[in-house]
Structure 1
Amino acid sequence: MSEPKLQLKIDLRSGKIEPELPAEGARDATTLAVMDEINAELPELEAKVGLEPRPVLLRAYVLKEVLEAHPRNWINDRSKRREWNETEERVGKLKAAAIEAMPEGEGDWVWGELPYVRETLTLLHNKQKAENEVNHLILTPLGNLEHAEINYKRMGADDLARVCQEVSEVLRRTAELDDEVLSWGPKNRGALLHGRELVEIPAGMLPTTGAAYGGFAAGVVLIAIGGALLAGVVPGVPKAAGLVGLIGLGPIAWGVGQLKQAGARRAAIPEEFSELSGKFRERLYLICALRELQVFRSRYSKAFEAFRTHLTREG
């Protein structure tokens, strides 16, 4: 017998094993064509039922499913609807004859198991599809991070859960970066996100220099007074009193030290900003990556659990 035209085909998107259905406008013509195909095939099957009852029974199941997928109410001509009923009856008789020709109980068992096998194949397809999606994920970028270390190499689809857990742990540890980013103010936010240079140093991030300049000025004044006393400019005051000017060196030294610290702090801020930008952008990448990974993980987990539950339920 040549390869039958009517088949149950697997939908690669849903995994369901179904007949190929027509567009709505072609239902009448397609249903009539299906009836013609079935009626053309039935005589050969009916002739072989006594010799090969099992293959005939399996084929009768396919024909039944295909015919039922093209219901008679799709046919416009009422007389043709009667022919649909007759075709359905012939398929039913073929099934009964095949079961009768098989050892007692075997035919009914085979027929009863066919829906289970059909569902099993659908669930197995969905499981393998989800597993292939996970196995083909390219996770190499997770191993090229500058500020976080993640073992992206997975041992099979089940190991994706561990990868997700590692990413989640990194995000938990870096949660304080969100507040740190806010502390740099709205004007710097775009630069942080795009890895650009600092726009402005936020108020309060640099140490105040007013006291430093005040100390420096006070020291200069004391030195000036001391110099005047040493020069005898002030009548009635011993020249030795001019040594008081040495006291001015202390405020000057303190003021200079404070100004140096402020300068060093100002010089370090752009580098700190750049490092924060890298860490924050990496964190945003991991947030987005984790969401995508969890989609694949959830899809695989659901498909695996559905298949396992199906096998457990049916034994």
Structure 2
Amino acid sequence: MARTGKTADQVLAMLDRNILSGAASSSLTKKWDGDKLREQVQAEAQIVAAFGQQAGAAIERHAEQKRADLRQQIKATQDPEKIKALQAQINEINTQERLLNVAVGALSGSGGVAAVQAGLSEAADRMRRYTIADSEKFAGITDGETTLDNKSGESAGIRGDGFKTAGTRVVLDTLCGPVNERCKKEKDSRGKEIQDEKGIPKLKLDGTGHVQFDKKAAKKTMAQFLETKDGKDMAGLTGGNQGGPGTLFGFPYSSGGILDLVHEAYGGSHDFISGTLSGYYDEQGNARRGLTPVQKGLYEIWTDIALVPATPFALSEALPPQAWKALDILLRMKR
């Protein structure tokens, strides 16, 4: 090189020796402490995690308070239009809660998991809302003492909605019989039973739209019939009868308990997938009538299979956003 009187290779060799030996004033030296840096990263991670947990809990408390206020207003009114408007506000709060949790997840480094949980929860909520509306269609069946429908079961529900979706819907083929022999039937002016297009006598409804269980024809009350083998077989293994007390394999569970939460987390999505999408429910929201043994068997098989696709939606309802964030942290630690 002209200015140094040395070749390029000689200059590079000198630079390399200076750097490695540390003799040159401009040589590279280790300026940071590995342990301190590790501690700083861990501290920052703990701060971010704490922020995510506290923010998530604050969002949940705020949303739950608003939902509780609106549900009180729903209980205080009989106006269908007002109830519909108040329920729409609750649905909007649920959506806002999910979006805020996604934002918090993004700030705390768990945006992907938060978005997945929010998407599943939104879909599960829509399926639950459809299930509730479908369950409310049927007025019920009564003998004047006992009444069974699809909307009177006791449950804390999901997000405090107080609706029990777990359990089997009313099966009129079981309660009334295949040709309605255990229920009151419509008759013409000559006292002859009026039949439908399938030749089955039509059910006679009372003034409030209830199917009437005929104690005289059945030779027992409806409560007594529900205790017979046929009556007990109508109840689902999980949830019992939707309009009755919650049971698991025949044993009762309390409203607001862990079993109630698990049943309701599955209730909306499983009911929608297994009953609505399959065509098992009729226009009144009850089990379809006139099913053959083969059809009944196929629906029972599908009910079991439907637990698989319903599980992700159920988990999004049962587990709070904080649990999903913890899951994300665990998954990242295993990478």
TM-score normalized by structure 2?
A: 0.25
Larger radius of gyration: 1
